[in-house]
């Protein structure tokens, strides 16, 4: 069983370098991390230094922030060849749906951020295009009171949708520093409070590793691999 | 007079934890934050049935008592703590035991006082520059000259490693790691 944290933000977006995040994640018991800064902070500080940290897989991805569906499509086409992991910064209904309808997208992160749940059409498209839904648990960590209760409610409704349409699920903390990271056991405890079942959590923590493994292989077309 | 029959006593568990922080914390501040997080997450009823108590805390390691059927909730509430009296923290549960003795024996190898050192060194790179606050093995805490660098993450310092500087094969406070000649890159 290998645990991956799939949405970390390094300097200049976060306050820790990629190698420091790798050290922290290794100490907490992760087998791999994916550093995916938002698309406005692409130039990560000393990325190659992270590969020197032993016993942990470090990969780089991108979390694309699109203002409109067309711009999002352009970003995805441009970045697919460069990065092994493409995440979309979800929020508005248009962006969520555009991300779910694009087969090159790996994961749609925090679709509930715009205070709306994932639409039925978007969920159906995500099932068809094998786009995973990323649940960001940072609101459970950072928020308190009624704001946390509202976000929790949206997360629960998205979980029901994900179960209904058999969507792939990822769980992340969206860490911007090493203090935002949590151990897999603590993530599991938080996720169970949010409404996930333990088998779903295991799969969710494994999924980024599987996606990275698939994306690192050379595909000539759908189902055709270059060996 | 016996206060409670053995069969009526609630079963307790002792959770050993490791706290990583940017500064020195008082046990009292941590306790207030733990209680506050508990009430926020579980509500008054849940908090009343948990019997939470901070047994000991030395600034880095500690033991927390909880009810035996509330281990998952206690783990979750510790995971929701991200700041104590304005200092960013990370609480990592090391293990759970049935007695204080076994929790101390198994999970707390040494309860030493934490000492802080102020390193009067600077790092000058193209991307970041500032004063070195602490060095732990390969890991370096840096107080940046430009405070906008830490905006949005609520931390006080930037976290770097010796791998980010030109060295990487030695400890960060070694002479060959490039703390002074860090502008070479890797």
**CB atoms B76 and A11 under 8 Å:** no
* Residue range B106-118: mean pLDDT, rounded: 57
Cα–Cα distance, B17 to B94 (Å, whole number): 5
* pLDDT tens column, B52-103: 999 999 888 899 999 999 999 999 999 999 999 999 999 999 999 999 999 9
Of A12, A20, A14, residue with least CA distance to B163 = A20
Could you say which residues of chain A have pLDDT below 70? none
If pLDDT is split at 50, 70 and 90, which confidence band does B142 have? confident
Q: Which pLDDT value is given to residue B1?
A: 57
Alpha helices in A59-183 (DSSP H): 69-79, 93-100, 120-129, 138-142, 146-164
What are the structural domains of chain A? 4-226 (3.20.20.140)
If pLDDT is split at 50, 70 and 90, which confidence band does B116 have? very low
If pLDDT is split at 50, 70 and 90, which confidence band does B121 have? confident
**CB atoms B163 and A16 under 8 Å:** no
Rounded to 10°, the helix A93-100/A69-79 angle is 40
ipTM (interface predicted TM): 0.84
A140: nearest CA partner in chain B: B80
Q: Reduce the DSSP state of residue B110 to 3 states and report it.
A: coil
More confident call, B172 vs A178: A178
The phi, psi pair for A160, rounded to 5°, reads -60, -45
Q: Which pLDDT value is given to residue A73?
A: 92
- Strand A4-8 with A32-38, pairing: parallel
**CB atoms B153 and A141 under 8 Å:** no
Q: Which pLDDT value is given to residue B3?
A: 65
pTM: 0.85
Q: Which pLDDT value is given to residue B184?
A: 39
**CB atoms B93 and A183 under 8 Å:** yes
What are the structural domains of chain B? 12-110 (3.30.70.3250), 117-180 (no CATH)
Q: Which pLDDT value is given to residue A225?
A: 83
- Strand A219-221 with B12-21, pairing: unpaired
Q: What does pLDDT average to over chain B?
A: 80
Q: Any CB–CB contact under 8 A between A180 and chain B? A: yes
**CB atoms B185 and A46 under 8 Å:** yes
* pLDDT tens column, B20-59: 998 889 999 999 999 999 999 999 999 998 989 999 998 8
Name which of B89, B153, B160 is nearest A17 (Cβ-Cβ).
B160
**CB atoms A46 and B93 under 8 Å:** no
* pLDDT tens column, A128-149: 999 999 999 999 999 998 999 9
Burial class (CB within 10 angstroms; exposed 0-12, middle 13-18, buried 19+) of B10 = exposed
Which chain A positions have a beta carbon within 8 Å of B152's beta carbon? 13-14, 176
If pLDDT is split at 50, 70 and 90, which confidence band does B182 have? very low
Q: CA of B10, closest CA in chain A: separation in Å?
A: 22
């Amino acid at each position: 069983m290998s645990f991956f944290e799939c949405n970390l933000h390094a300097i200049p977006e976060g306050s820790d370098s990629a190698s420091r995040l790798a050290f922290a994640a290794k100490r907490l018991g992760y087998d791999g991390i994916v550093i995916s800064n938002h698309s406005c902070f692409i130039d990560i500080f000393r990325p190659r230094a992270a590969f020197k940290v032993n016993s942990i897989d470090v990969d780089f991805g991108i979390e694309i922030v699109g203002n409109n569906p067309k711009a999002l499509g352009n970003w995805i086409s441009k970045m697919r060849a460069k990065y092994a992991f493409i995440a979309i910064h979800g929020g508005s209904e248009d962006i969520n749906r555009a991300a779910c309808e694009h087969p090159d997208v790996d994961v749609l992160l925090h679709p509930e951020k715009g205070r709306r749940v994932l639409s039925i059409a978007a969920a159906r498209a995500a099932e068809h295009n094998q786009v995973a839904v990323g649940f960001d648990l940072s609101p459970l960590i950072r928020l308190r009171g009624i704001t946390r209760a509202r976000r929790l409610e949206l997360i629960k409704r998205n979980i029901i949708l994900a179960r209904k349409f058999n969507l792939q699920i990822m769980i992340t903390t969206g860490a911007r520093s090493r203090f935002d990271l949590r151990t897999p056991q603590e993530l599991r405890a938080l996720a169970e409070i949010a409404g996930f079942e333990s088998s779903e959590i295991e799969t969710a923590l494994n999924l980024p590793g599987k996606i990275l493994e698939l994306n690192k292989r050379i595909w000539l077309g759908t189902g055709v691999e270059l060996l | 007079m016996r206060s409670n029959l053995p069969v009526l006593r609630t079963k307790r568990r002792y959770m050993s934890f490791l706290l990583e922080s940017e500064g020195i914390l008082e046990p009292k501040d941590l306790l207030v934050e733990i209680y506050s997080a508990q009430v926020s997450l579980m509500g008054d009823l849940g908090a009343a049935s948990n019997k939470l108590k901070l047994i000991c805390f030395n600034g880095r390691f500690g033991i927390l008592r909880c009810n035996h059927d509330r281990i998952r909730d206690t783990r979750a509430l510790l995971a929701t703590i991200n700041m104590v009296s304005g200092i960013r923290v990370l609480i990592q549960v090391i293990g759970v035991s049935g007695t204080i003795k076994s929790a101390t024996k198994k999970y707390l190898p040494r309860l030493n006082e934490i000492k802080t050192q102020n390193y009067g060194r600077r790092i000058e790179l193209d991307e970041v520059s500032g004063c070195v606050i602490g060095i732990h093995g390969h890991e370096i805490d840096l107080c940046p000259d430009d405070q906008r660098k830490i905006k949005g993450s609520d931390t006080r310092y930037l976290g770097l490693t010796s791998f980010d500087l030109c060295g990487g094969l030695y400890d960060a406070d070694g002479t060959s790691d490039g703390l002074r000649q860090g502008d070479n890159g890797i």
